[in-house]
């Protein structure tokens, strides 16, 4: 069936296919943040999901799930391995997002409860149900598809796979980006990903994929924590920053968004990483009383805006990110 799908491609599109074995790794294409909202008949618009990026590789009987920084996820999401292994194509690479739901919204905080599980039996017994939204096809049946225009990659993806839970197709709309953004924000979604329909798969951050965010959030490196006050346990606040060249720039304290179990888990992890002085080399004019840690842990933080002195306003903790290396965390600025 899948070979027949390739045979139906127009000659001009088929000419862009390249024979190859199933790759062991492909770098994901990353979207660029923008403050410009637009509509364009040459662009498609997908829902921005609040989950974990995941690439899936199948070569015969072997299915592998990898995060964007190549961490294996097979044992964390064994039901996804099963679903991908049951597909008719026996050789493919797909790109997508693993999510969990809180009500009708995708919730990275809820997904966090699965991220620490590396025993497939425990993962299967978990009450945290996960879904894998597929939005791109990078290899199919011995052919690299990365040079095909995006719209044709999505057409092949839709035709080649059987989409039944926990696998879902990431639907899109064409042209109406501003309406898609307004509706996403009204639903309480993260936002919209805008993609040029004629773009190839870049395998890096690309201006052909753009993020329209309804909320402001990004990853930050944890460089320290303060002591808890009153009845609070574990820690008071995280001290976070981002890389700018050779500097680790202090961005402020994050003291909300935690429950008691999260505070305890964070303290247990960070207390084993302490060092004598702050890792921040800029932005920390008056170091607060804190315990400093090696800058290796990455946290997702929501906030309302950047202040004029370069600090986060109203930051709140969302969760830890195991799918991004600390050295890759930079300040996300609109293009």
Q: Which residues are known catalytic residues?
A: 48
Opening angle at CA 295, ends 289 and 300, nearest 5:
95
CA dist., res. 160 & res. 163, Å (int): 9
- Give every CB contact of residue 45 below 8 A, 6+ residues apart in sequence: 172, 173, 174, 176, 177, 180, 181, 192, 193, 194, 195
CA dist., res. 245 & res. 27, Å (int): 22
Q: Give the residue among 111, 143, 140 at the shortest CA–CA distance from 323.
A: 111
Specify which residues 273 forms β-bridges with. none
Structure tokens at 326: 């600390």
CA dist., res. 108 & res. 319, Å (int): 7
Q: How many residues does the chain have?
A: 335
Alpha helices in 98-233 (DSSP H): 108-115, 120-125, 150-160, 177-187
């Amino acid at each position: 069936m899948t070979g027949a799908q390739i045979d139906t491609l127009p000659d001009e599109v088929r000419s862009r296919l390249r024979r190859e074995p199933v790759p062991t790794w492909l770098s994901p294409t990353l979207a660029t943040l923008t403050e410009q909202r637009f509509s364009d008949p040459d662009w498609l618009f997908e829902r921005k999901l609040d989950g974990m990026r995941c690439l899936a590789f199948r070569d015969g009987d072997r299915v592998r799930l990898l995060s964007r920084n190549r961490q294996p996820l097979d044992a964390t999401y064994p039901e996804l391995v099963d679903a991908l292994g049951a597909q008719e194509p026996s050789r493919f690479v797909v790109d997508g997002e693993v999510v969990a739901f809180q009500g009708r919204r995708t919730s990275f905080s809820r997904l966090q409860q699965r991220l620490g599980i590396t025993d497939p039996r425990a993962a299967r017994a978990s009450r945290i149900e996960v879904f894998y939204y597929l939005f791109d096809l990078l290899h199919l049946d011995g052919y690299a598809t990365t040079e095909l225009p995006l719209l044709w990659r999505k057409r092949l993806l839709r035709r080649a796979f059987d989409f039944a839970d926990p696998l879902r197709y990431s639907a899109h709309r064409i042209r109406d980006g501003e309406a898609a953004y307004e509706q996403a924000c009204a639903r309480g979604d993260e936002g919209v990903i805008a993609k040029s329909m004629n773009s190839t798969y870049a395998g890096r951050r690309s201006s052909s994929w753009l993020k329209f965010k309804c909320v402001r959030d990004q990853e930050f490196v944890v460089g320290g924590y303060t002591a808890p006050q009153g009845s609070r346990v574990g820690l008071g606040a995280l001290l976070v920053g981002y890389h700018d060249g050779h500097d680790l720039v202090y961005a402020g304290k994050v003291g909300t968004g935690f429950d008691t179990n999260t505070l305890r888990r964070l303290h247990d992890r960070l207390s084993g990483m302490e060092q004598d002085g702050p890792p921040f080399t800029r932005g920390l004019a008056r170091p607060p009383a804190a315990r400093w840690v090696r800058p290796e842990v990455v946290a997702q933080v929501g906030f309302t805006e950047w202040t004029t002195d370069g600090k986060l306003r109203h930051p709140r903790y969302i969760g830890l990110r195991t799918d991004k290396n600390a050295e890759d965390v930079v300040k996300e600025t609109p293009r």
